Amino acid sequence: MTPFFVLNQFLNYLSTEKRFSEHTVIAYENDLKQFFEFSEIDSLTKLVEINHQLIRSWLVYMVDMGLSNKTANRKLSSLRSFVKWCQKNGYFDQNPFRKVVSPKVAKRLPVFIKESDLEAEKVGAYFSKDFKGIRNLLIIEIFYQTGIRLSELINMKISDIQNESIKVLGKRNKERVIPISNNLIQKIKAYIILRGQLNTTEENLFIRENGKKIYEKLVYRIINIYLSSHTNIEKRSPHVLRHTFATHMMNNGVGLEVLKNLLGHADLTATQVYTHNSFSQLTSIYSQAHPRGQKK
């Protein structure tokens, strides 16, 4: 048995039991192979002799190579998960991570778009009335009105569209239902009518003009082009619209627990980052509204 046989077992566990996406499994594989190469692990004996000194050396090496603390932490997390799995399966007696301290990462607030830059009339006026224009408009509207992830939008099927909601299959195949407005329902129906004229057998909701499923780079391009022409923010990815959805919901009074469920977060910690943006909004309102807070 080789260390790569053990690695492949772990990757299979991530894929089949944890149901991680292919992209995530590949990231784990790359991180762990980099650690194996750095540590010169070429036998099972060397694998089970991994200790905290070796992990610390790898951490120092990554920092010296110019990797950010965030990236180094992600790679450490991959190794930590692998070691934990190895312990569970009898390869390790002790946890070598007990004496390893992860580098601190500065928390950055999510970037979001102002409500005025996403007014329905403004967004609608930008796109043409043909198939491509209506599809691209709908992509932006669904991102902004539901806060779903890029992968969730790409894999959304026509059958996921219900009368007043959208069924979303999120991370680890966790399903959630998101309510949608009547206005969005009408936009979806208009798109589906045009979509039907392409005579495609594709089950996914969003397709290209050739009838085939859309892909990540195309969606990135659609979002980037629109945000470049309407905002000054540096980040112009689909995830910015997810952040925008969450921030606007918080600013308009939605509770953390409700927002957590809408976003599909596993726990409340991930959702709490949006309270910072909400507090900034409250601070601005306070300074304008309270007699003692008004600037002279």
Query: How do the residues of the chain divide into helix, strand and coil, expressed in percent and rounded to 5?
Result: 60, 5, 35
What CA–CA distance (Å, rounded) separates 13 from 16? 5
CB-CB neighbours of 127 under 10 Å:
18
> Quick one: residue 42, left, alpha or beta (phi over 0 = left, psi -120 to 50 = alpha)?
alpha
Beta-strand runs (E) in the chain:
165-169, 175-179
Token pair, residue 34, equals 């980099």
DSSP 295: -
Using DSSP's 3-state secondary structure scheme, residue 237 falls into coil
Contacts 24+ apart (CB under 8 A), 47-56: 47/3, 47/6, 47/86, 47/91, 48/86, 48/91, 48/92, 50/83, 50/92, 50/96, 51/96, 52/96, 52/97, 52/98, 52/99, 52/100, 54/96, 55/79, 55/96, 55/97, 55/100, 56/99, 56/100
Point out which residues pair with 166 in neighbouring strands: 161, 178
Question: Hey, which residues are catalytic here?
Answer: 149, 171, 239, 242, 265, 274
